[in-house]
Amino acid sequence: MPAHLKHIKFESTPNIYLLVYDSYQDADMLKKNYGIENFSHEQKLKDMGFRIQKDIYSIAGYSIGSMSKVLELGGSISSFNNLLLNNGYDRYYVFRDHYFTRNGFDFFNPTKILPNPISDNVPLDLLHSIAKGQLKAVENNSTSSFSYNAYLKQKKKYLRIDSDSPRFFYSHTGPGHAQFSGKCLENEIDLFSERLAKANEEMLADINNILEKDDDPLILIMGDHGPYLKGDCQRLRRYGIAGITRELIEDRFSTFLAIKWPEKYVNTKGRDMEKIQDVIYELIFRLSKNAEINNYRLPLTASTVIKYGKCGALFRNGKIVCGKDANQSLRVRY
């Protein structure tokens, strides 16, 4: 975020809920690439007042890289968190396991920045934000996962918690990607479809828990990357450039975004969001009415950091730059 926009003041401060469902994609993409029907679930979201952004992707195909770029706003580790703090928000997160905090530091008293122990130069911006105490750690297990039922119980508790201050709430859950062995299982798509159905139930329960306590919230529902159900169900490590197709790129980077705006912002004209990393800028613009933030674009718009097969970046500025379908638009309206 540009330096002169770091102290933006919001005109209103609705509670903000960022509900991330790992590897979730929109219904058109699920039908096109895997034959999975999810249109009925999307209709339920529309009936609840959500707008679904079609044909959207992430600039990173892995959770930490994707979500750090959603929250860091173009370079500063804690810029969005500080912006929330400056506007009076309490900030909470609920994770099921220790993936984002797998280094084992104390969640309740996070004071140190940890060295990067992760291969492939994975960005640690999200980890750093937590380590610096930018988010309120409300529940954790630093050595193993919560049981699913225990996780749901804690998430419900903090979705419905009473607070005198506006709240930013972030949770990260399933359905989750393929098993990542480097070889797809014969029933990989069927297994994902089962997890998707479970995630859909969890999503509706999350929304209902919010709406029972909050009559005019801002709810962001998104996937963080694709499900990796095609090719090698991993990072195409043995694939040459000619073997990397649009379908394989979509399988890793196409995702999902649905937004329920507070009533006063429903008719606000905003940007055409092509990637999930655009959404926080749109949020800031609507809450602040700051024209400069509406014109700002994230500098990093290419898939980077982790190699896929013989390619470096697979796409840049919305255009495929490596593989069989190079020079075509990444976004295809269905």
Angle in degrees, 0-180, between the axes of helices 63-71 and 279-288, rounded to the nearest 10? 20
pLDDT, tens digit (0-9, with 9 covering 90-100), for 71-99: 865 544 457 777 888 899 988 878 776 55
Report d(CA 334, CA 92) in Å as an integer: 36
Q: What is the pLDDT of residue 323?
A: 93
Q: Is the pLDDT reported for residue 244 higher than 90?
A: yes
- Half-sphere exposure at residue 197, Cβ-oriented, CA atoms within 13 angstroms: 7
Label the pairing between strands 257-260 and 218-222: antiparallel
Q: What is the pLDDT of residue 21?
A: 97
- The model carries a pTM of 0.86
Report d(CA 265, CA 283) in Å as an integer: 10
3-class SS of residue 189: helix
Q: Is the pLDDT reported for residue 272 higher than 70?
A: yes
3-class SS of residue 43: helix
Please tell me which residue, 333 or 147, carries the higher pLDDT value: 147
Q: Is the pLDDT reported for residue 142 higher than 50?
A: no
Q: Is the pLDDT reported for residue 152 higher than 50?
A: yes
Q: Is the pLDDT reported for residue 299 higher than 80?
A: no
